[in-house]
Amino acid sequence: MSGEGDTPQAIRKLAPGKLVIASHNKGKIREIAELLAPYGVTPVSAGDLDLPEPEETGTTFVANAELKAMQAADLSGLPALADDSGLCVEALNNEPGIFSARWAGPDKDFRFAMERVERELGEKGPEASRGAHFVCALALAWPDGHVEWFEGRVDGTLVWPPRGDKGFGYDPVFQPIGEDITFGEMDPDRKHAMSHRADAFRQMVAAIF
């Protein structure tokens, strides 16, 4: 999906070499690096390059991913990949959504964030839906300003208490449809086969490699 206007254009291919992962989240960087491993790119994180974290002023996952990728590409002179993802809880009007990281506070305390989700669900009453989905938007930007973006999704149910110490973020309370364990209990290879990030990556890989 091209970021250059509404005129259909061929998607730009990504050449082998260095690719900036425009994130300071170590769990997210690790997961993206694992997904990229087969494709001949050398991931380098924004933190390793001392790149600042931009303020996420977008109103959608795609908009926030684009601004992060474009800043990293501009400052580094390299292609940059950014992810913006979050948990959308149906009974909470799809919150925390794009504010998923902010719900964890300045210390990125996702136990606190998961407790907030559970508390607000409880306030909705016992009949409230526990349905939820994760969304991941990936934006790939080049230093000349060209951007491609892709969006993935996985649906599931929220559980309580949290289960598992694998994954990161809200993974311990999210049980994908058709599974009996949470992302927090799941081995990385199994999660990579079904996650929202994996869905977006499949679309990106098919288009740019």
Distances (CA, A) of 110 to 30, 42, 73, 113, 199: 18, 29, 29, 5, 23
The b/e string for 72-84 (b: 16+ C-beta within 10 A; e otherwise) is: bbebbebbbbbbb
Distance CA 117, CA 209 (A): 38
56 vs 44: CA distance, rounded Å: 21
Cα 52 to Cα 29: distance, rounded to the nearest angstrom: 15
Contact 165, 173 (CB under 8 A): no
Active-site residue list? 84
**E strands, 112-192, in order:** 131-141, 147-158, 174-176
The beta-strand segments (E) located in 34-163 are 41-45, 80-89, 95-96, 131-141, 147-158
* The token pair that represents 202 in the structure block: 């499949």
